[in-house]
Amino acid sequence: MSEPVLDFVQCPDAQGTHRMAYWSWGNPAASHVVFCVHGLTRQGRDFDVLAQALVASAQAANLPDVRVICPDVVGRGQSDWLKDPMGYQFAQYAADLGLLIQALNAAHAIERLDWIGTSMGGVVGMLLAAQALPVPVHHLVLNDIGPVVSWPAILKMQNYVGQVGQFQTVQEAANALWQISNSFGPHTSEEWLALSKHMVRTFENDRLSLHYDPAIGIPVRAVTQAQAEAGEAALWQVYDLIQCITLLIHGVESELLGAAAVIEMTQRGPRPQVASIEGVGHAPTLVHENQIDIVRQFLGLHP
């Protein structure tokens, strides 16, 4: 299966409703479902390589089929944009993804739900894992994210989030993306182009821009240091409620998640296993075999 199936779910918001897109890999009737949820300005096609690897690994190991769901969180990719940009908040994202879980479970009963969340997607995973959901999170992968988010990292985000640009080619867009994403670690030009081609949409005059609502930057730029600190305290409370089996993937050079935060995370809440990725900052893309294997082993999808 070289291409995923695109589908949508209708979600309520303060102004009415919006459609959230999601990409599905594998057997749609599989009872083992893995969610892969992207970072702040990314989209669900980031996980193409990982999703295919997980589906194939289950088959190769003669395990029950796995279905991998990769949403485009509202405002990104093929999903609708919100009428009110201040609606781009974690509460909305968690509500949307919780509704998607319910819809998928109603169509085909989910016996095991695992969650892989990169950055923002990991925060949403923590919020859902801390709740008593009808379908609880069984395995949780936090990809270079935790309750602690450094203020300098937020300041950096405030400088680039919402700057969607205009480009003549996908390669030009990929080059621009690399300038703000080189902390993802070494990638070949082919790997980076594959990660970038779904990050653009056709704009007026056949030019391209990044495939997310630039208004996402409005609530990001509105965050103060005091609000960030209050949010961190609240997120630690959420983290301490998590009881599921958890893995923390840490980019050793990450400016978002420092070594001290990683140590504290291992001493609280779900006390996760830690997999450190040398030579990578925020955040590992999970497209390289060594990173894929970390996830595969943690989820038990190996021969």
**Domain CATH code at residue 25:** 3.40.50.1820
Q: How many other C-beta atoms are found inside a 10 Å radius of the C-beta of residue 237? A: 11
Omega within 30 of 0 (cis) for the link into 283: yes
CB 123 within 8 A of CB 229: no
Query: Would you say residue 135 lies in a domain?
Result: yes
Query: Would you say residue 26 lies in a domain?
Result: yes
CA–CA gap between residue 211 and residue 179 (Å, rounded):
17
What was the pLDDT predicted at 226?
94
Query: Would you say residue 195 lies in a domain?
Result: no
Let me know if 17 is exposed, middle or buried by CB neighbors in 10 A (0-12, 13-18, 19+): exposed
Task: Provide CB contacts within 8 A for 6, sequence distance 6+.
Answer: 21, 22, 23, 24, 78
C-alpha 58 chain-centroid distance:
22
CA–CA gap between residue 259 and residue 241 (Å, rounded):
22
Query: Across the strands, what pairs with 118?
Result: 143
Query: Would you say residue 156 lies in a domain?
Result: no
CA–CA gap between residue 206 and residue 212 (Å, rounded):
17
CA–CA gap between residue 293 and residue 53 (Å, rounded):
9
Query: Across the strands, what pairs with 35?
Result: 69, 115
- In a structure prediction context, what are the per-residue pLDDT tens digits for the chain, which is 303 residues long? 579 999 999 999 999 999 999 999 999 999 999 999 999 999 999 999 999 999 999 999 999 999 999 999 999 999 999 999 999 999 999 999 999 999 999 999 999 999 999 999 999 999 999 998 999 999 999 999 999 988 888 998 999 999 999 999 999 999 999 999 999 999 999 999 999 999 999 877 788 999 999 999 999 999 999 999 999 999 999 999 999 999 999 999 999 999 999 999 999 999 999 999 999 999 999 999 999 999 999 999 987
Per-residue burial over 138-175, b if 16 or more Cβ lie within 10 Å, else e, is bbbbbbbbbbbbbeebbebbeeebbebeebeeeebbbe
Query: Would you say residue 106 lies in a domain?
Result: yes
Domain around 47? 5-147+229-299
Query: Would you say residue 293 lies in a domain?
Result: yes
Apex CA 242: angle with CA 255 and CA 54, to 5°? 70
Apex CA 232: angle with CA 245 and CA 162, to 5°? 100
54-65 tens-digit pLDDT? 999 999 999 999
Counted domains in the chain: 1
Query: Would you say residue 178 lies in a domain?
Result: no
What was the pLDDT predicted at 206?
81
Query: Would you say residue 212 lies in a domain?
Result: no
86-127 tens-digit pLDDT? 999 999 999 999 999 999 999 999 999 999 999 999 999 999
CA–CA gap between residue 278 and residue 270 (Å, rounded):
24
Helix (H) or strand (E) holding 118: strand 112-118
Q: What is the pTM of this model?
A: 0.97
62-77 tens-digit pLDDT? 999 999 999 999 999 9
